[in-house]
Amino acid sequence: MPAAQRWGGASNLDMCAAGPSYTREKQQSAPARAPGAGRGHGILLGAVALGAILGALIFSAFTHTARSGFSNRLAGILTGRDLRIDSSSPAIVERIRQLSRLETVDYSIDKIVEGDRSNRYLPNFLVGDKLLLVAHGDVVAGVDLSQLTGSDVFAQGQTVHVRLPQPQILTSHIDNSRTRVYSRSTGLLVPADPNLESQVRQEAEQQFIEAALAGGILDKARQNARTSVSALLRAVGFREVDVE
């Protein structure tokens, strides 16, 4: 029995002694990662990217070369885009109103205007006052688009009809840098009237307006306004535009 115990004890000691060595061998025998695994994943990703690029190129070539038949219809379905135009009257009115006062024509006018003070009983060389003004000015006409209302605009699909407000004189002024008193004569018995020149200037400005009206400035303003508003409406996508 003692000998058997010693044998058994020796076997247990041997197993205990061999235990750590067995554990290390088991840990060392775990499968290692293949050296080429990372390279394989990179090749796969590159192949996918290359396939995507080639597919995009083939799709682009197909849509550009399809001209008729089923291929043309298919290309139209794949690449077609819908046209959307906001044809509601309030939206169109707001766009046109943004132009505010549309100044469409500018007339530049030169006038010689005369003003004088006289007396019915005494001659001018005694009590008269006469001024000759060479005046230059500008008259601007156009359309006040802020007066446009919803009833002035009718739109349906890609067709729009607009009725513009009446053209009018927007501004008129004298160019002081190019206006001068050509001559002035005052009677021997009276001083020069300080208000005469300003009154002549006012008359010159009124004559500018009359000359512009006689020259057809309002007709020209209407024509130019129609052209400008038509170009605006076509720019936002309307194909058939009628402006009156």
Lowest pLDDT segment from 14-18, 33-37, 107-111: 14-18
Listed in sequence order, the DSSP H helices in the chain are 2-28, 37-65, 69-79, 89-97, 124-127, 196-214, 217-235
State how far the alpha carbon of 127 is from the alpha carbons of 114, 193, 194, 198, 199, in Å.
Answer: 17, 11, 15, 20, 19
The residue ranges of every structural domain in the chain are: 43-81, 89-243
Render pLDDT for 133-158 as a digit per residue (tens, 0 to 9): 999 999 999 998 888 888 888 888 88
Q: Give mean pLDDT, residues 84-109.
A: 67
Q: What is the pLDDT of residue 235?
A: 85
Distance (Å, whole) CA 133 – CA 230: 42
Core vs surface per residue 99-130: b (16+ CB within 10 A) or e:
beebbbbbbebebebebebeeeeeeeeebbbb
Write down the mean pLDDT value for the chain: 75
Say whether pLDDT at 83 is over 90: no
Say whether pLDDT at 80 is over 60: no
